[in-house]
Structure 1
């Protein structure tokens, strides 16, 4: 199976989900997508993660990002588990799981996206089949994989960082820029090295030269 890399076309698939059957590319449409896997239903860390994503869903929607989860359990299990996600989420904010969760009991999609755990011998089902690790794929409207994050099953994800990555991708696509270390939305950006000083001045009249190869600019108003 070919290795997925940044820029690879996200493999298409058909699956059952908590929102009914889907064809992935058709479901994605012209939106960005965050496809994420979690090791299993009714597991403690995953429950906190899916509650957090539920709270953040308006942030994803405002960025034209569709969210879809996956685990190796079936749809019935997902639907039963959602009640627990809502219970935990309601402890901090009103919670409603309004995004689909893919059922992948045969691991077909997990193998397609190389999500299965190869290191944690405890992260397996009753038959000894591996569960997934915590994987995130950020996929653009052209179905290209733009970012991949892999966490071990024991470590919960930082969704502030996920949102930061999405904001950076949206910003760098819109402008001919790059983002520096620890960049957050609204911070100065780095002008792409492919732009000459003359081209950069036309696009960013007030840019600053920090080093001959490092030029920064604010995007306020752009």
Structure 2
């Protein structure tokens, strides 16, 4: 989907990442923070999270409970994206607060309901204690043992090879997650990490009106000198302010029709 050689821009990706702290001052998990480690039981046996994701991009995909209608469709659609995610070096795991035995039974329903012939090849984490949910900010600690309140929020965490949180999405129970959007976000994050660019709104369907469909912006941290050295063909969009900050690069443009 993308083209261009990888380039190590001194004022780019690494400098941009340093704008985020490794740990928040109040203990809440935020973008750029190193994600919490944990041990858990899963449908594929015991898991040590750091060991499982070591050196890889990863997605942690949470559900409030087993045998829920929206999440049943989400697991099925996620299974359809599994091979594509795996090809991009992404480790995938989902989480629900029910028992692992219940997860296994639930997966039979997921496969039966999905119109495609899918298999669930990624682990489903059991989090009956809610410890993982609390550590990742999906549940207030005071709600841990209150059976009358909602369980964990439906969240997506995309984690980089440095074990830092790169993207987080939270959804209400009434809105199913879009797996195409999650895949798009993974592609955008990997592109940015590799080439020191930032994807515009609606990427890769952006800037078609000026013949720059799929082009991406240089990060603000890329100096003018580095822009000339590493992105000699970049295009600066003219705006009324006269500030030259909308710098597009053909790194990231679409090379094939979807």
Normalising to structure 2: TM-score of the pair? Answer: 0.78
Partner residue of 1:195 out of 219, 222, 234: 222
Q: Does 1:180 align with 2:200?
A: yes
Distance in 1 (alpha carbons) for counterparts of 2:225 and 2:34: 35
What is the SS of the residue equivalent to 1:21? strand
Question: What is the CA-CA distance between 1:220 and the residue it aligns to?
Answer: 6.4
1:74 maps to 99
Distance in 2 (alpha carbons) for counterparts of 1:163 and 1:174: 17
Question: What is the CA-CA distance between 1:192 and the residue it aligns to?
Answer: 2.0
Superposition pairs for residues 1-222 of structure 1, below 5 Å?
2-89=27-114, 91=115, 93-116=116-139, 127-128=147-148, 130-184=150-204, 187-211=214-238, 212-219=244-251
Q: Give unpaired runs (5+ residues) of structure 2.
A: 1-25, 206-212, 239-243, 254-258
CA RMSD in angstroms comes to 2.4
What is the SS of the residue equivalent to 2:148? coil
What is the SS of the residue equivalent to 1:22? strand
Runs of 4 or more above 4 Å deviation: none
Question: What is the CA-CA distance between 1:117 and the residue it aligns to?
Answer: 7.7
Distance in 2 (alpha carbons) for counterparts of 1:59 and 1:154: 27
Flag the structure with more relative contact order, 1 or 2, with Cα contacts below 8 A and sequence separation at least 6.
2
Change (3 A) 1:170 1:220: closer
Question: What is the CA-CA distance between 1:126 and the residue it aligns to?
Answer: 9.6
What is the SS of the residue equivalent to 2:42? coil
Q: Give unpaired runs (5+ residues) of structure 1.
A: 119-123
What is the SS of the residue equivalent to 2:157? strand
Q: Deviations over 1:100-119 (max 9, x none)?
A: 0000112111111111289x
Distance in 2 (alpha carbons) for counterparts of 1:8 and 1:164: 22
